[in-house]
């Protein structure tokens, strides 16, 4: 500690650029391979597609350089490669099914990336969001309830999670994910001290005080409400899991997880015993190969089983893009895009996608660890955890770890609302990670070395632990 040298923390923007170029190369390569496999030639739209994606993400990179120079360098490339891979798979499905998902998804990508850039450019400090805690609550609830409004809400495949305005349909639940994370973060950072107080000790577990159970019960009831009214298992699971996770991070009390699990199991049993669509999902999960379940007209396991067949056919290295039959699986471009990847890119491809998500989530959590304010920690941690939960719920459904639910893989799967919302999450994480890695303002301008800010930051962390 005798010699203290000042060094400017590296921004790592160069790393981001190189990785971004790699991500674009992977995305374009995948897109091109589809053409090579199907037509034996590079697809004519390849350059346009590559240029479009490069311009969008390159633009975001520039905005990050300008407004958030210390942002985490992995977030943008990972999001880009996931988005690009999804586009390639969609293009591959379009080719064989004569549909137009990829071009629409590219359009939504543009909207999403622009919105992410706006978040980075306009939101100069993530702590500003804390001011809108209760606005966020109201907006979040409105978004959740919107699909239930007559005329506006539409029911697609049994779940009422869409709204339809003219030709546009939107899944407000995806946006609600962000808004409610803001609310949870703002609320919990205020209430965490109260919620951390301990109550009775049962079986060696320090339970919270009964009077503090209010918020978790409200979240639980809201989730059940979503399940009952909108018949959406995935959204319900996601919100409750997110709330419990953030509650745990805020209070450090394992007992909240225990309470959450008990409530979850109770809710699950309740839902299972009351609703036939939940029973159908569970049956299709437990015994998908039974002919009666497989052939069931509604709520059967046809989709799940066809997805499993596809992935089994892909094996370790896959059939290669354009050489399998992923179109056999209904909704291969959205809910079952992982099955399509498993079939054509093999177990290797599935692992790659999962690892990419893991990197994304862990960088988000790393941001939460690094950022100095409690609200930022909860916000970044919550957003990252939301992505992780969503991936687990969707991939777990496709891989038969848990019953199938109606969510899609973030950034990868087809869906405008989901894509836009997840790019906004990337924007928020970029913004927060910039705050996490940015050196503390140097007060002394005389040039005398001061305590390096990196150590400062870590010291702060130790204290806050």
Partner 1 sequence: MNAPLRRLSVLVTALFLVLMLAATWIQSIDAGRLRADARNSRTLYAELGRERGPILVGGEAVASSTPVEDAYRYQRVYADGRLYAHATGVYSVITQPTGLEGARNDLLSGTSDQLFYRRLSDLLTGREPAGAVVETTLDADVQRAAAEALGDQRGAVVALDPRTGDVLAMVSSPSYDPDELATHDRDAAAAARQALLADEGDPLVNRAIAGDLYPPGSVFKIVTAAAALESGEFTPDGLVPGPAVLDLPQTDTGLPNSNGRSCGEGDQVTLTDALRISCNTAFGWLGMELGGDALREQAAAFGFGEPLSVPLRVTPSTVPAEMSPPQLAQAGIGQFDVRVTPMQVAMVSAAVANDGVLVKPNLVRSVRGEDLEVIEQPEPVELGRAVSADTAAQLTAMMETVVERGTGTAAQIDGVAVAGKSGTAQHGVDPGAEPPHAWFTAFAPADDPQVAVAVVVEEGGAAGDEASGGRTAAPIARRVIQAALDR
Residue 280 within binding range of partner 1, rule CB under 8 A: no
Residue 456 within binding range of partner 1, rule CB under 8 A: no
How far is the C-alpha of 239 from the C-alpha of 137, rounded, in Å? 13
3-state percent breakdown (helix, strand, coil) of the chain, nearest 5: 70, 5, 25
Q: Which of 56, 219, 361, 430 binds partner 1 (CB under 8 A)?
A: 361
Q: Which of 33, 180, 383, 388 binds partner 1 (CB under 8 A)?
A: 388
How far is the C-alpha of 11 from the C-alpha of 434, rounded, in Å? 9
How far is the C-alpha of 242 from the C-alpha of 155, rounded, in Å? 25
Residue 354 within binding range of partner 1, rule CB under 8 A: yes
DSSP state of 162: E
Residue 305 within binding range of partner 1, rule CB under 8 A: yes
Contact 279, 272 (CB under 8 A): yes
Instruction: Supply 229's token pair.
Output: 């009214």
- Mark 59-88 with x for binding to partner 1 (rule: CB under 8 A) and - for no binding: ------------------------------
Q: Which of 108, 162, 243, 392 binds partner 1 (CB under 8 A)?
A: 392
Residue 13 within binding range of partner 1, rule CB under 8 A: no
Window contacting partner 1 (CB under 8 A); options: 52-60, 61-69, 98-106, 370-378: 370-378
3-state secondary structure of 170: strand
- Minimal CA–CA distance to 231: which of 181, 175, 322, 299? 299
Contact 383, 433 (CB under 8 A): no
Contacts of 100 (CB under 8 A, 6+ apart): 94
Residue 207 φ/ψ, nearest 5 degrees = -80, 155
Query: Please, what is the Cα angle at 398 between 395 and 404, to 5 degrees?
Result: 100
Judged by CB under 8 A, the chain residues 141 through 160 that form the site for partner 1 are none
Window contacting partner 1 (CB under 8 A); options: 67-75, 137-145, 349-357, 420-428: 349-357
Q: Which of 107, 142, 289, 451 binds partner 1 (CB under 8 A)?
A: 289
Judged by CB under 8 A, the chain residues 209 through 268 that form the site for partner 1 are 245, 248-250, 252
Q: Which of 308, 383, 386, 404 binds partner 1 (CB under 8 A)?
A: 308
DSSP state of 203: T
Question: What number of helices (H) and strands (E) belong to the chain?
Answer: 16, 5
Residue 463 within binding range of partner 1, rule CB under 8 A: no
Judged by CB under 8 A, the chain residues 315 through 344 that form the site for partner 1 are 315-316, 324-325, 328, 342
DSSP state of 212: G
Total residues at interface with partner 1 (CB under 8 A) = 51
Residue 381 within binding range of partner 1, rule CB under 8 A: yes
How far is the C-alpha of 464 from the C-alpha of 457, rounded, in Å? 11
Closest CB to partner 1 among 31 and 183? 183
Closest CB to partner 1 among 153 and 318? 318
Rounded least distance, CB 150 to partner 1, Å: 38
How far is the C-alpha of 162 from the C-alpha of 356, rounded, in Å? 28
Closest CB to partner 1 among 46 and 305? 305
Provide the binding-site residues for partner 1, judged by CB under 8 A: 245, 248-250, 252, 289, 294, 305, 308-316, 324-325, 328, 342, 346-347, 350-351, 354-355, 357-358, 361-362, 365-366, 368-369, 374, 377-378, 381, 385, 388, 391-392, 395-396, 399-401, 461, 464-465
């Amino acid at each position: 500690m005798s010699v203290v040298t000042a060094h400017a923390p590296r921004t790592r923007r160069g790393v981001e650029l190189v990785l971004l170029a790699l991500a674009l190369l992977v995305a374009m390569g995948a897109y091109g391979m589809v053409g090579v496999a199907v037509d034996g030639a590079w697809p004519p739209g390849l350059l346009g597609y590559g240029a479009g994606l490069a311009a969008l993400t390159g633009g975001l990179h520039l905005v990050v350089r300008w407004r958030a120079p210390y942002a985490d360098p992995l977030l943008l490339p990972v999001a880009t490669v996931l988005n690009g891979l999804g586009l390639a798979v969609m293009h591959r499905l379009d080719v064989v099914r004569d549909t137009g998902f990829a071009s629409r998804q590219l359009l939504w990508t543009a909207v999403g990336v622009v919105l992410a850039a706006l978040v980075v450019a306009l939101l100069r400090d993530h702590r500003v969001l804390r001011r809108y805690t209760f606005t966020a609550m109201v907006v979040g609830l409105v978004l959740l309830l919107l699909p239930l409004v007559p005329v506006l809400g539409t029911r697609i495949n049994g779940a009422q999670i869409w709204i339809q305005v003219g030709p546009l349909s939107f899944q407000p639940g995806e946006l609600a994910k962000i808004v409610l994370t803001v609310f949870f973060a703002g609320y919990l950072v205020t209430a965490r001290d109260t919620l951390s107080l301990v109550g009775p000790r049962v079986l060696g577990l320090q339970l919270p005080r009964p009077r503090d159970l209010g918020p978790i019960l409200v979240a639980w009831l809201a989730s059940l409400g979503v399940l009952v009214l909108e018949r959406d298992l995935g959204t319900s699971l996601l919100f409750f899991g997110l709330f419990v996770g953030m509650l745990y991070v805020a209070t450090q009390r394992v007992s909240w997880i225990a309470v959450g699990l008990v409530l979850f199991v109770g809710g699950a049993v309740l839902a299972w015993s009351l609703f036939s669509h939940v029973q159908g999902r569970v049956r299709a999960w437990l015994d998908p190969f039974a002919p009666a379940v497989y052939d069931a007209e509604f709520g059967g396991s046809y989709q799940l089983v066809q997805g499993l067949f596809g992935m089994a056919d892909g094996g370790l290295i896959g059939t290669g893009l354009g050489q399998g039959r992923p179109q056999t699986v209904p909704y291969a471009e959205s809910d079952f895009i992982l099955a399509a990847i498993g079939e054509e890119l093999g177990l290797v491809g599935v692992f790659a996608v999962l690892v990419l998500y893991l990197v994304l989530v862990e960088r988000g959590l790393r941001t939460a660890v690094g950022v100095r304010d409690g609200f930022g920690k909860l916000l970044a941690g919550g957003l990252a955890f939301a992505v992780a939960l969503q991936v687990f719920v969707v991939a777990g459904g496709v891989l038969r770890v848990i019953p199938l639910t109606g969510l899609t893989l973030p950034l990868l799967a087809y869906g405008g609302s989901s894509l836009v919302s997840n790019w906004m999450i990337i924007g928020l994480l970029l913004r927060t990670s910039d705050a996490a890695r940015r050196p503390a303002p140097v007060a002394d301008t005389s040039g005398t070395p001061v305590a390096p800010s990196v150590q400062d930051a870590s010291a702060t962390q130790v204290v806050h632990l």
